[in-house]
Chains A and B, each alone.
Chain A
Amino acid sequence: MAYALQQLINGLTLGSMYGLIAIGYTMVYGIIGMINFAHGDIFMVSAFIAVTAFTLLAAADVTSVPLALTFVLIVSIFFTSAYGWAVERIAYRPLRGSTRLAPLISAIGMSIFLQNAVQLTQGARVKPIPPVIQGGLEVWSTPEFTVQIGWSQLLIIAVTVVMMVGFTWLITQTPFGRQQRSCEQDRTMASLLGINVDRTISFTFMLGASLAAVAGVMVTVYYGVIDFYIGFLAGIKAFTAAVLGGIGSLPGAMLGGLLIGLIESFWSAYLWAEYKDVATFAILVLVLMLRPSGLLGRPEVEKV
């Protein structure tokens, strides 16, 4: 029981990060109908920006953890959203209006480019940072097992909840959110109403990248090591989460992320840890077979 509770905490932590990344996939899919395969690498870039920012802070002898985290988050969000903007501008916008496959291939190219660029400039070895947040809270102690929630886990879950609430508010309640949703439903009509569709799409990419940046900072804090390849697996899992929840659906992406995180941690704890990725993708296959539009997705019905 105690062991299971621990897995629940671990799974929620992991799932929070997947959920944050998954939103970027689902939003971009919603507005331009393409899978942005470079999104995982945007997340990876954000982790490198976070490491650089932490290193700079250490050099400047900043010791206050809240201050350091705030600074790193702001820096990472700023630069990562610039990357998100640039990727759309360079690799996708010129291809708008061509076949559906073209931007997909361009996205894969962008993903490889980002990985190689980071490998070249930052090196292929793992980058460690000194632990930022240590210790935790003992939640429950039994003779054979102690359930602990790390401060970093608590931070990740709390920041994710704040981001998700803020983000949901942005999309459902603000003029920007309305414009975003109108572009998602009918881009031509939105432009006929005076909405600058290209700008809305740019903002969507920047928003997705910002959430990935938050995940990138959290991963850096949680694991303390990163490398140029982390974007690949994290990206594919977040994509799985988005599909599981129903691609195009924002609550779906959050739910899918949490589920993938929980499945992974419970599977590793009780079954075979080395097959945890197989489990994730097997579930993806099952969902696609039984419920192709995902848990919260809309079935694709074209109404004339």
Chain B
Amino acid sequence: MMLTMEGVHAHYGHIHALHGIDVEVQVGEIVTLIGANGAGKSTLMMSLFGRPQASAGRIVFDGEDITHLHTHDIARRGIALVPEGRRIFPRMTVLENLQIGAAQADPANYDADIARVYAMFPILQERQSQRAGTLSGGEQQMLAIGRALMSRPKLLLLDEPSLGLAPIYIRRIFQIVRELNRDHGMTILLVEQNANQALKVAHRAYVLQHGEITLSGTGAELLASPEVRAAYLEGGGHA
């Protein structure tokens, strides 16, 4: 088991954002989390990093209880996040952003890792000495993914990677998610508004509603489920 969340509660100030979350991610899986705005998807992702720290329950990553570790120690265990809004470092160059991603990795892997990222996203190599803030939204998303990969994570978290992107980039993102999983054996936890696409790539999926998991199953099962279709596919207009 790569990741287990057991009865995790989390609070943002006075808001009780997560109410006893049980989520499992197995090695080599793509797991998708869908839910409406404000359901707590990003909070769930951030709570894995102890931001906010779980107020009850526990989080086990790769056999180790990480519930009370510092954010940077959790990241060093091998979890990388491509956060909502990308959060690249705008006043650093593209190359520097990738180097920062590798800051905690074994320097011996650096050349191979940067070559892999450049092979996946040739545009990043073309723009490597450009300030990251000057990239387009789609390119910034590529950079954020590349930066996360530079640490050779065991588990990759993607938070709304397709949000606000042009269709051509959205297709590319989902293609990359598949490739990373199939060709590199990457375990992925994906949070998406674009439920249709996200469920198609997922081995398993969870539906999050008001801070609780209300439904889970394989991607195909959820795609066929009437509740999911009504709430996230047909009505939502994201299909």
Q: Which residues of A are interface residues toward B (Cβ below 8 A)?
A: 175, 178-179, 181-182, 185-186, 188-197, 303
Contacts and interface: CB of A to CB of B under 8 A. Distances in A.
A182 B51 contact: no
Interface residues of B, number: 24
B10 to A, nearest CB: 16
28 contacts: A178-B92, A178-B103, A179-B100, A179-B103, A181-B96, A182-B100, A185-B92, A186-B89, A188-B51, A188-B71, A188-B87, A189-B83, A189-B87, A191-B72, A192-B49, A192-B71, A192-B75, A192-B81, A193-B72, A193-B80, A193-B103, A193-B104, A194-B72, A194-B75, A194-B76, A195-B72, A195-B104, A196-B72
Contacts of B103: 175, 178-179, 193-195
B217 interface: no
A178 B96 CA distance: 7
Nearest to B86: A189
B104 A194 contact: yes
A178 B91 CA distance: 11
A191 B81 CA distance: 11
B128 interface: no
Interface string B84-113: 000101111000100111011000000000
B90 A185 contact: yes
B151 A193 contact: yes
Contacts of A192: 49, 71, 75, 81, 83
A218 B81 CA distance: 47
Given A175-B103, A179-B103, A188-B51, A193 B75 contact: yes
B92 A181 contact: yes
A185 B194 CA distance: 30
Contacts of B41: none
